[in-house]
Chains A and B, each alone.
Chain A
Amino acid sequence: MSQPKKEFLNGIKATLPIMIGVVPFGLIYGAAALKAGIPASIAQAMSVIVFAGSAQFIITRLVGADTPALVIILTAFIVNLRHMLYSVSLVPHLKDLSSRWKWLLSYLLIDESYAVAIARYQDQQDEITHKHWYFLGAGLALWSIWQVCTAAGIILGAQIPESWPLDFAIPLTFIALVVPMLKDRADVLAALTASGVVLLAAGLPYKLDLIVAAFAGIAVGIGATRQ
């Protein structure tokens, strides 16, 4: 099998275990959007146009609470600021690609595709070529499942029992992805700092707490490696 095709398939394979978290996430998003009064067409279009689970949930909640459009846009913007951090952190791995590749992979850059790809790229023991094909495989697999599960959530709607803790699959997925990335003391300190700061900063407006916590964690990580 050619190298690009192999990496593409490796990318798809890497997302399979986390689908157990992505599927319920999509289902409850579709159901929640309808419940908030968002028409099915817009709920589905949001999964294509925005393609960011947590932002879509927040938008859904804000629409349900009759929030002005500008506040919704500003809040979603701040919630999604972390994608700039993902973007810059992928530069060393994707910088030599053509513009078309960059435009395409940027569209597929979400928490899960980032986590799966960066875990592979940071694994120094495994020098891979065709990194972009790996990213494409992971991104397309996640994108397809997200669209299908949004549609299923819209169709099933109220039939999904709200007492089921389906949304708990989301943090569990991130736990499963990030814990193996903690390779030394600096990583652990960065993670603990970000976790603590996000709790302390929880009252900040427009969900600024996440980005503040991210920078605090990164700063402590840098400090810890200097010692």
Chain B
Amino acid sequence: MNLWLTILAVGLLTYLMRLSFIGLLRGRTLPPALQHALRFVPVAVLPAIIVQELVPQGSERDALLHNPRLLAGVVAALVAWYTRNVLLTIGVGMATLIVLHMVFGM
């Protein structure tokens, strides 16, 4: 029962956050300075999520270079930069991780 209530509370809060600005600002135009700032929302939030996934919390700085996920992530980013192809990016990234694991034992 407790868990149901927890899930409902999280769901409601999350929905209200999603609705917040979309729902509030009816037909209003945002100030140009804010619109300019918003341009950076995706390019700031998504890379931060990516880094959180690639670097386990509490890992030592020295361990960064020996982190196969980080290396494979960098390779995938290069593929994305030069090809802009989603499937190729995911495919090469996954293959790199597997090679690093199987061949180099990382």
| Chain A interface (Cβ < 8 Å from any Cβ of B) | 17-18, 20-21, 38, 42, 45-46, 49-52, 54-55, 59, 63, 69, 72-73, 76-77, 80-92, 94-96, 99, 102-103, 105-107, 109, 111, 114-115, 118-119, 122, 165, 167-182, 186-187, 190-195, 197-199, 202-203, 209-210, 213-218, 221-222, 225
Contacts and interface: CB of A to CB of B under 8 A. Distances in A.
Q: Which of B13, B21, B25: most chain A Cβ within 10 A?
A: B21
B45 A85 contact: yes
Interface SS of chain A: helix
A199 B44 contact: no
Nearest to B55: A199
B41 A89 contact: yes
Contacts of B15: 106-107
B87 A17 contact: yes
20 contacts: A51-B11, A82-B45, A83-B14, A83-B17, A87-B18, A87-B22, A92-B38, A99-B23, A106-B15, A111-B49, A168-B93, A171-B50, A180-B80, A180-B84, A198-B52, A210-B48, A213-B48, A214-B41, A218-B41, A218-B44
Interface in B19-52: 19-23, 25-30, 34-52
Given A18-B86, A175-B93, A180-B84, A80 B27 contact: no
A140 to B, nearest CB: 15
Interface of B: 2-11, 13-15, 17-23, 25-30, 34-55, 57-58, 69, 72-73, 76-77, 80-81, 84-87, 89-90, 93-94, 97-98, 101
Contact of B22 (A82, A94, A168): A94
Interface SS of chain B: helix
Contacts of B25: 91, 95
B35 A168 contact: no
A88 B21 contact: yes
Contact of A187 (B19, B43, B55): B43
B81 A179 contact: yes
A80 B14 contact: yes
A202 B23 CA distance: 32
A186 B43 CA distance: 10
A216 B53 CA distance: 19
A85 B93 CA distance: 28
A49 B45 contact: no
